[in-house]
Amino acid sequence: MPTSESEEQFGKHRSDCDMHQGDQQRRALLDPVTLRQCYLDADQYWRYSFKSLLSSRQLIEYIVLNIVPTGATVPGTSYSLAHAEIARVSDFGYNDTMFTITTHLGHLLNPGDYALGYDLYGANHNDMELEKYNGLDLPYAILIKKSYEEKRRQSKVKQRSWKLKNLDMEVDDATRAKLDQEKVSTEYEQFLRDLEENPELRFNISLYRDKELQASEIAASTNDGDDPPSVPLEELLADLEISDDESEEDESSMKE
């Protein structure tokens, strides 16, 4: 739990945030253990700069063994506080280590579900900033989001019914040689999965039906409840292409 020093620092941020309620460039920070919120604008973010102890590349998979909601929620969001018993998937078959933690994902997780999180129990914390908070008791793990990897491995649906449209970009040979294509492909695939899992993330993004798929294939690729999340058909736009001839006809009709 936060020490008095960290509480004071949080309070300093909170008082600053309260003075910028009208700023549209704010970013919300959420304490996953207490559901306390703070809002920072760009100036505050850079003024109180900090380093991350772990990055998204260090997320590991946990299985949820039990979960008990506390009833605490965040107004205006779906977050719900819960106590959870979890175990690292990588420990299966090697030990029976379990952890009891508090998570803000009580609205999503059920026993038997998988989740991605930061392993603070096994991480090597060698950070000068962290040492300033004497007596700070870090949780064993912080769950970040529900994981659908196991469902994806078991799913019979292998092709998406939708696609994104990208702008053509010219990349010179020198830049192309520096790119790690495997890394680029992996990050792009993760972005597509994030779009499928989070309706709010795709709110202002245009998703198009893949016209190369037959109607039967599109219907089979939608979520039936047991499959990993997918984009509903009603959210997809028709993939229209305007030929050069049609463009010229439109221009001629406008001139007339």
For 208, phi then psi, to 5°, come to -115, 145
- Predicted pLDDT at 11: 37
Nearest to 184 by CA among 192, 172, 173, 174: 192
Higher pLDDT, 209 or 241: 209
Q: Does residue 121 register a pLDDT over 80?
A: yes
pLDDT in tens, 92-116: 889 989 999 999 999 999 999 999 9
Contacts of 84 (CB under 8 A, 6+ apart): 64, 65, 66, 67, 68, 100, 101, 102, 103, 106, 109, 143
Q: Cα–Cα distances in Å, from 108 out to 119, 146, 147, 218, 223?
A: 20, 7, 10, 27, 17
Residues 84 and 92: beta-carbon distance below 8 Å: no
- Predicted pLDDT at 15: 34
Determine the Cα–Cα distance for residues 223 and 113; give it in Å rounded to an integer.
17
Q: Does residue 231 register a pLDDT over 70?
A: yes
- Predicted pLDDT at 53: 82
- Predicted pLDDT at 113: 93
For the chain, the structural domain boundaries read 27-46+54-147, 158-167+178-239
Q: Does residue 62 register a pLDDT over 90?
A: yes
Answer whether 0.75 is exceeded by the pTM: no
Q: Does residue 253 register a pLDDT over 60?
A: no
Q: How many Å from the N-terminal Cα to the C-terminal Cα in the chain?
A: 73
**Pairing outcome for strands 60-73 and 114-119:** antiparallel
Q: What is the mean pLDDT of the chain?
A: 75
- The residue behind tokens 């460039």 is 25
DSSP state, residue 140: S
Buried residues in 30-60 as b, exposed as e (16+ CB within 10 A): eebbebebbbbbeebeeeeeeeebeeeeebb
User: Residue 114 carries which side chain, given as an amino acid letter?
Assistant: Y
Residues 196 and 223: beta-carbon distance below 8 Å: no
- Predicted pLDDT at 88: 95
